[in-house]
Amino acid sequence: RQGDILRVLQVIKMRGTSHSQAQYVVELTPIGMLMAPHLKGGRPEGGM
């Protein structure tokens, strides 16, 4: 939605993995946390 502020999560590094630039849009709801890849121009941002 245009004008909304997005919460974005980025996991930089996890043990045993290489670094990631991927970002995920996070929405907090009454049933929990929803996550989706952050898209820019129709493609996932960060090379996913």
Rounded Cα distance, 38 and 34, in Å? 12
Q: Are 6 and 36 in contact (CB under 8 A)?
A: no
pTM passes above 0.75 = no
Mention every residue, 6+ apart, whose C-beta is less than 8 A from residue 7: 25, 26, 27, 28
Domain boundaries, the chain: 7-44
Mention every residue, 6+ apart, whose C-beta is less than 8 A from residue 40: none
The pLDDT, as a whole number, for residue 22 is 84
The 10s digit of each residue's pLDDT in 4-41 is: 788 888 878 778 888 778 888 899 899 999 988 887 76
Query: Alpha-carbon Rg of the chain, whole angstroms?
Result: 12
